[in-house]
Amino acid sequence: MNQLSAHDLTGVHMKRTILLCLTTAAVALTSATTANASTAGDHAMGSQIAKHEGRQTTNGAVRAAGETVPGMDVSSFQGNVDWQAAYNAGARFAIIKATESTGYTNPYFTQQYNGSYNAGMIRGAYHFALPSESSGATQANYFLANGGGWSADGKTLPGAVDMEYNPYGPTCYGLSQASMAAWIRDFSDTYYARTSKRPVIYTSTTWWSQCVGTQGAFADTNALWIANYASTPGPLPYNWTYYTFWQHADGGRFPGDQDLFNGPYSQLQAFARNHD
């Protein structure tokens, strides 16, 4: 009887141990999931647009009106880029991910930002916005503190704010169209107050139509960087009649995403110097 009781007690102990381990693991997983949903991660520009709207990974024929300048945008996913090779292949500008929300900075930013400049490109930086996490002003200031500034050297573009699908939850981050427009305006006004430049707005027409709609006339103040992985830029978001940049593929002859500036190189230089 004593041996049987000891066996039973051992079995109960083992079951309790297993249950405790499973419970601990579940709590840890829940905590990690919650943390991921409320802090910035590392999302490349257009990653969520490609996920929701499809992608074009070749550098096939694209049709743009008038003269254009080829370029690229990169993030940490490209690591240390061979900038001279990209320049030799025809890229004349590069836009580098600097920040996301207020909890992430690109660990390769210095190599990418300075390397593109040193190779002879016109360079710029972008911020991946998470409007559900903090105000537009807070994220603009974080961006500016971590590489998102502008200088009048003729080779540095105004910063860009990346507005696209929420990688963590509801498409529009739980905001109404009016609230989303107000968030973007807050980011833009803060950036302008500190640099005298309005940030370029990167987005897709589909996302903008759903999450911003006709709220705000940003075409009057902000240049547009349209994302459309197709042979043409397609229809533009509300009130814009002209795009400045077009991200037309997420893979091709340059590392990262493939972009075009809408105009000749001299106009790109002018945009870098003084686009407002």
Coil vs helix vs strand at 192:
helix
Q: Which of 53, 73, 162, 259 is catalytic?
A: 73
79's CB contacts (< 8 A; 6+ apart) are 108
Taking a C-beta distance cutoff of 8 angstroms, is the pair 221, 202 a contact? no
Pairing outcome for strands 160-162 and 200-203: parallel
Q: Cα Rg for the chain, rounded, in angstroms?
A: 23
Taking a C-beta distance cutoff of 8 angstroms, is the pair 270, 89 a contact? no
Coil vs helix vs strand at 21:
helix
210 class by beta-carbon count within 10 Å (0-12 exposed, 13-18 middle, 19+ buried): middle
Coil vs helix vs strand at 233:
coil
d(C-alpha 162, C-alpha 48), whole Å: 11
Domain 47-274: CATH superfamily, name plus number: Glycosidases (3.20.20.80)
pLDDT at 76: 97
Q: For every one of its 276 residues, what pLDDT tens digit does the chain have, with 9 covering 90 and above?
A: 344 444 444 443 444 444 434 444 433 333 333 333 345 678 766 566 655 555 444 455 677 768 999 999 999 999 999 999 999 999 999 999 999 999 999 999 999 999 999 999 999 999 999 999 999 999 999 999 999 999 999 999 999 999 999 999 999 999 999 999 999 999 999 999 999 999 999 999 999 999 999 998 899 999 999 999 999 999 999 999 999 999 999 899 999 999 999 999 999 999 999 765
225's CB contacts (< 8 A; 6+ apart) are 160, 200, 201, 202, 203, 243, 244, 245, 246, 247, 259
Tell me the C-alpha to C-alpha distance, in Å, between residue 38 and each of 67, 161, 175, 223, 254. Answer: 43, 19, 15, 30, 33
Q: Which of 53, 100, 162, 164 is catalytic?
A: 164
User: Any catalytic annotation for residue 73?
Assistant: yes
90 DSSP assignment: T
User: Any catalytic annotation for residue 67?
Assistant: no
Coil vs helix vs strand at 82:
coil
Of 47, 30, 102, 31, the closest CA to residue 247 belongs to 47
Strand segments (E) across 16-163 = 68-74, 93-100, 104-105, 122-128, 160-162
Angle ∠(236,237,243) on CA atoms, nearest 5: 50
Query: Tokens 């590489």 label which residue?
Result: 147
pLDDT at 64: 76
In the chain, what are the domain boundaries? 1-38, 47-274
**The model's pTM:** 0.82
pLDDT at 187: 98
Phi, psi for 192 (deg, rounded to 5): -65, -40
